Structure 1
């Protein structure tokens, strides 16, 4: 009969399924009540765990939210390689627009941006996670286009990301305007033209 290994007496075993339940509960609470009204008690209740399960993982609300949001914000978006820069752009914009329209994301993002203006730790965490991710996206997208000869070697990856994400964030997260059927196609043409002209200047 196989022996079951037991954790040393007194050792806290952090079960993965409980951690996942807590993370999901945090995101749902953030979407429902915002950071200001979010409480450890409400997260524990929603996750179906005791408060001690949360305090074993994080010492306070801010630490918990920062780690979970940073993880979500820094998650890699699948970077497309369709064989053309225009195709890559349009596919990436479709992925981003779907993410921004997700029920939970569309409620959490504006709230956290507002909270970041009041809380330097939240601002720094979001900036670090987003900047690292955006740089990776820009470098790959523009690097592929340069390698194919579609953009000149001087094309700016940071500008590319600003041009791609800025309009989508404005329309979907700020103005909350629905995208027309041909919006992504028009935006792709505009971004291409802007990057080519900025590289020529």
Structure 2
């Protein structure tokens, strides 16, 4: 007799994980961090609550994991071989992600909640912001290595100059942007970096 395959609890199906992620983001956008409820996430995903707890030990762990994964998937660090093209592609990818009303609501909610929770702020920095900065720092460092930026370029300043307008966009305080605005932002950043 062949060995019996483990049932449900031992198998984490990717389609269920994707349904849970979609449900968690929808609930986060609708109810906010504090109002998100694991029962509602499970019901919206069409799974039992145990399916969530097999994957994550808590609501915070689930949200942090999903946010970190989504950020890496939606906004990869480009490598076109030219710095300007890389930065324009990055800015456009971030703005395209933020054009999704659910994403915009989630970003605003997470940023607001980090003001109330130093632990969450640190976790978001460690799991989301720092990896994104490392990826973008590598884009700028490759440009230094290729000679597109001077060796003394203030890469950290460049990261801040790119992030600032994007954060304003994320919280709805940025002005209405056009496709040309990505290029204008990148050109301003490059001008600052080549002067440093």
TM over 0.5: yes
TM-score for the superposition, normalised by structure 1:
0.84
Structure 1 residue 176: Cα displacement: 4.7
- The runs of at least 4 aligned residues of structure 1 exceeding 4 Å deviation read 2-5
What's 2:52 paired with?
Answer: 54
Q: Distance in 2 between the 1:10 and 1:77 partners? A: 33
CA contact (8 A) 1:58 1:64 kept: yes
Deviates more, 1:189-198 or 1:156-165: 156-165
Q: Would the aligned equivalents of 2:84 and 2:186 in 1 still touch at CA under 8 Å?
A: yes
User: For this pair of structures, how many residues does the alignment match?
Assistant: 195
If the length of structure 2 is used for normalisation, what is the TM-score? Answer: 0.86
Shift of 1:26: 0.4
| Preserved contact between residue 70 and residue 125 of structure 1 (Cα < 8 Å) | no
Structure 2: distance between partners of 1:173 and 1:193: 26
Q: For structure 1, which runs of at least 5 residues remain unmatched after alignment? A: none
Does residue 71 (structure 1) correspond to residue 69 (structure 2)? The answer is: yes
Instruction: State the Cα deviation string for residues 109-148 of structure 1 (Å, max 9, x = none).
Output: 0101111111223211110121122122212x22222233
> Aligned-pair distance for 1:74?
4.5
After superposition, the Cα gap between the structure-2 partners of 1:73 and 1:126, relative to the gap in structure 1 and judged at 3 Å, is: farther
Q: What RMSD in Å do the two structures reach over aligned CA positions?
A: 2.4
- State how 1:15-34 maps to structure 2 within 5 Å: 15-34=13-32
CA 1:126–1:145: 2 relative to 1, 3 Å: same
Name the structure 2 match of 1:97. 95
> For 1:69, what is the secondary structure of its paired residue?
helix
Alignment match of 2:190 (pick from 183, 189, 192)? 192
Instruction: Give the helix-richer structure, 1 or 2.
Output: 2
Residues 80/58 of structure 1: CA separation in 2 closer, same or farther (3 Å cut): closer
Which whole-Å CA distance do the structure 1 matches of 2:41 and 2:74 have between them? Answer: 26
For 2:144 and 2:3, how far apart are their aligned partners in 1?
56
Deviations 1:74-126 (A, max 9, x none): 54733323343222222221111112222221010010111111122321111
For residues 62 and 85 of structure 1, what CA distance do their matches in structure 2 show?
Answer: 36
Report how far residue 4 of structure 1 moved.
6.8
Q: Give the C-alpha shift of residue 5 in structure 1.
A: 4.6
Q: 1:20 to 1:171 in 2, by over 3 A?
A: closer
Higher alpha-carbon Rg? 1
2:108 aligned to which of 91, 110, 117: 110
Moved more, 64-73 or 182-191: 64-73
> Structure 2 CA distance, aligned partners of 1:13 and 1:188?
45
Cross-structure match for 1:154: 152
